[in-house]
Structure formats: structure tokens, C-alpha cells
Amino acid sequence: MQLNTNNIVDSFSNGFTGLINDFISNNANSIVWFIFLFIFAFFLIYSLILVYHWLKYGIGSFTVWFAMIAYFSVSLICIILMYLSAIIIF
């Protein structure tokens, strides 16, 4: 009796990818919002650290405030676009 490894690998990969596809299709909405909230939490923590260091170690007050305004303006636009894309997806 000869063992055909190609059939075993194909059946395993088809079953495994089918399992992943089912999981993603059933939980896609939750996955999108989890990714959005994870990125937002990372951004929030990173921004708090940046603001702390800018205010504590910043040399010129105008330069620090200009950097903070530029950073938060661009970040706000990116977060709004990410939020809108998450809403459009689902």
C-alpha cells in the first residue's frame, strides 16, 4: 500500500484554510473593530509618551507646539480615514 502524501497535504491545507475562511467570514466585523481599537490604543499611548517628552525636553516652545500641532493634525486625518474605512467595510 502506497501512501500518497500529496492527498494528505491537500486535504489538510483545504480543511485548514476552510476553517480560517469560515472564522474570518463569521467574525469579520469584530476583527475589523478589534484592529481599529488596537491601533487607536497604540496611537494614544505613543502620543502620550511623545507629548510628555516634547514638553519636558523641548527647547523652543514654538517648535514644540508646531510639532505637536502638525503631528496631531496629520494623525487626526489618518484616524478619521481609518474609522471611515472601517465603517464602509461593514
* Mean pLDDT over each residue of the chain, to the nearest integer: 81
Which residue type does 42 have?
Answer: F
Q: Confidence class of residue 38 from pLDDT cuts 50, 70 and 90?
A: very high
CA–CA gap between residue 67 and residue 76 (Å, rounded): 14
> Where exactly are the structural domains of the chain?
28-89
Q: What percent of the chain has pLDDT over 90?
A: 36
Quote the DSSP letter at residue 59.
S
CA–CA gap between residue 8 and residue 1 (Å, rounded): 15
| Residues 46-52: contacts with CB under 8 Å, at least 24 apart | 47/71, 47/72, 47/75
Q: Does the pTM exceed 0.75?
A: no
Cell of 33: 473593530
The model's pLDDT over 46-89, given as tens digits with 9 standing for 90+, comes to 999 999 998 888 887 888 889 899 999 999 999 999 889 888 87
